[in-house]
Amino acid sequence: MDQVAQAMAHFASVSVLIALIIGSVWGTIAGALPGIGTVAALVVALPFAFGMSTEASIALFLGIYVTSVYGGSISAILINTPGTPQSAATVLDGYPMAKAGKADLAIGWATFSSLVGGVFSLVVLILAAPLLARVSVAFGPAAIFAIIVFALTCIAWVSAGSTTKGLLAGVIGLWLTTIGTDDLTGYTRFDFGQPALMGGLSLIPVLIGIFALAEVFHRAGRYFAAKPPDVSNVGFRMPALGEITLRMPQFFRASVIGTFIGILPGTGATAATFVSYSDLRRSSPRRENFGKGEPDGLVASETANNAVTGGALIPTLALGIPGDGGTVVLLGVLTIQGLTPGFDLAQNNPHILTGVFLLILVANFIMFGLGALGSRIFAKILAMPEPLLMAFIMLFSFVGAFVVRGNPVDVIICAVAGVAGVILRFAKYPVAPIVIGMALGTTFEGKLRQGMISAQGDFFEFISDPIALGVLGLTAAFIAAPIIGSRRSGERND
């Protein structure tokens, strides 16, 4: 309680609140713009960290960090384009729901889920940060590899009906991550002699191309042929209380998964959404409706990705080890302010940590308010003539692709991915597996090889890690269950 009072003395000021609101508004907008993801939104604000007080700058950046993850869901639902990679799984049920004339309800589910995930992980952060920080380092390369394998099973769920094409797309996604310099040997792979490819492909330009640009091209093609799909009822509608209480177990599962994966350094929110989606797709009583606009799909993705925010701050603040891309920039902000996150911060400046908790809590409620109030603005934006809206999306797509690494080549990569995305759509290939493959590929390969080097090439020693064995066993069981199940029901039918 003493710490709370001390934190309040530092953080409870008008300037801190204003910074938090500005950060939250910018975070939501940036997240909703296709291409401007969490990291880019934070980086754009970085110069302001110099002129501000420590407390206000922490508020500004936490506001951006927490809300940008949520913002990505808005464009995912309304225009079939995830604003950030963390919202790639939100498209799967969010857009079908919007097409069914329930866009307002979809946004309501996404907003409420984000709030639940954010607050849940925050409570965990307050109660158990030091303990969980110690647990997180017990997850070695083999254990994280196993979790990524589990996340990859999501490819099967999102390509139901066209498994072969889905798996093929997943493999393409995995392969794309091998382009460029291999961190573990220093060799350059698949660069075809192009220095531009030496740095590899970044997920965001490809994601923007495959979703946003492909959507623009696709709509352009259809614009002259038929009427565009009518996404009506844009706004904000809270789901009914009964619907929410019915889904308590799903909220809980997604919150735990998101928080837990957030804790694991370098795994990230995108992986968390796919793990959560796979898990609920398997365990939910409404699993048959997944992909058709089932609220559980939104709960899986949006609860988990916002739960990562609190989870990822645990190793960041307690160990100085960033949990995801956004926390790397947050660490930088604290360093610029003369604070070293990690071992000493918890001991010497505990009020800063308490302040961080309070700010995240407030930011989560600001986010909820923004979702509720801002929905009218979204409706206005969507009411624009379609060619104009599409032109804006293209503009932001290219800007977004460029700002990720400041590399002009990424604009070309984005355009190529856009064309490829349209072709894949016409060929009836699901595109989500490409993104899943790309989002997970680097960690998948990196952890496998790092662990294999540690084990001197002995696969059985690598895999002997008990956590890894447990997770792999679980994955195998989940894959086997539906196959065995369908065989049994098949026998009965005979």
Partner 1 sequence: MMKQRVTSAGLVAGLVLTASAAFAEYPERTINMLVPFGAGGGTDVPARFFAAEMEGILGQNIVVSNVEGAGGTVGATQLSQADANGYNLGFLPVGTTTTQPHLKRTSYNADSWTPICMVSQGPFYLVVAEDSPIKTVDDYVAMANGDGLKFAGAGPGSMAHVAQLTLDNKLGVTTRYIPTKGGGDIATEINGGRADATAWFADFGTKFGWRALAILSDQRSAQHPDVPTLAELGHDAQVSVWFGFFTQAGTPDDVVNTLSEACAKAVEADSFKENMAGANRLVRYMGTEEFGPFFRTAFELNGKLLEDAGLIK
Task: Name the residue nearer to partner 1 (CB basis): 179 or 358.
Answer: 179
Q: Does 131 bind partner 1 (CB under 8 A)?
A: no
Task: Identify the DSSP state of 238.
Answer: P
Long-range contacts of 284-293 (CB under 8 A, 24+ apart): 284/250, 290/92, 290/93, 290/157, 291/92, 291/93, 291/96, 291/158, 291/160, 292/93, 292/96, 293/93, 293/94, 293/96, 293/97, 293/99, 293/100, 293/102, 293/106
Q: How far is the CB of 334 from partner 1 (least distance, A)?
A: 9
Distance CA 203, CA 211 (A): 12
Contacting residue, 3, 162, 178, 188, with partner 1 by CB under 8 A: 188
Measured CA distances, 208 to 32, 39, 151, 165, 446 (Å): 12, 15, 21, 21, 24
Distances (CA, A) of 259 to 150, 200, 385, 461: 16, 29, 41, 29
Interface with partner 1, residue 328, by CB under 8 A: yes
Strand pairing report for 188-189 and 180-181: antiparallel
Give the one residue of 34, 117, 173, 200 binding partner 1; rule: CB under 8 A: 200
Near partner 1 in 228-247, by CB under 8 A = none
Q: Does 338 bind partner 1 (CB under 8 A)?
A: yes
Residue selected from 105, 210, 321, 358 as contacting partner 1 according to rule CB under 8 A: 321
CA 34 to CA 81: how far, in whole Å? 7
Please report, as residue ranges, which positions from 165 to 184 form the binding site for partner 1 (by CB under 8 A). 180-181, 183-184
- By CB under 8 A, tell whether 350 contacts partner 1: no
Give the integer Cα–Cα distance in Å for 484 and 491: 11
Taking CB under 8 A as the rule, which mask of x and - marks residues 415-454 in contact with partner 1? -------------------------------x---x--xx
Could you tell me how far CA 7 lies from the centroid of its own chain?
A: 30
Q: Which of 15, 163, 194, 335 binds partner 1 (CB under 8 A)?
A: 335
**Binding piece for partner 1, criterion CB under 8 A, among 248-256, 373-381, 402-410, 433-441:** 402-410
Residue from 52, 330, 359, 379 touching partner 1 (CB under 8 A): that is 330
- Residue 42 touches partner 1, criterion: CB under 8 A: yes
Residues within window 379-398 making contact with partner 1, judged by CB under 8 A: none
Tokens 């984000």 correspond to 114
Of the ranges 14-22, 89-97, 282-290, 328-336, which one interacts with partner 1 (CB under 8 A)? Answer: 328-336
Instruction: Output the smallest distance, CB 327 to partner 1, in A.
Output: 9
Residue 125 CA to residue 136 CA, distance in Å, equals 13
Instruction: Report, in angstroms and rounded to the nearest whole number, the Rg of the chain calculated over CA atoms.
Output: 22
d(CA 449, CA 451): 5
- Give yes or no for a contact between 315 and 322, defined as CB atoms under 8 angstroms apart: yes
- The H-or-E segment that residue 472 falls in is helix 466-493
Q: Which tokens go with 404?
A: 């990720």
- From residue 453 to residue 472, the character string flagging contacts with partner 1 as x (rule: CB under 8 A) and all else as - is xx-x----------------
x/- contact string, 254-293, with partner 1 (CB under 8 A)?
-----------xx---------------------------
Per CB under 8 A, residues contacting partner 1 are: 39, 42-43, 46-47, 50, 136-141, 180-181, 183-186, 188, 195, 198-200, 265-266, 315, 319-322, 328-333, 335-344, 405-407, 446, 450, 453-454, 456
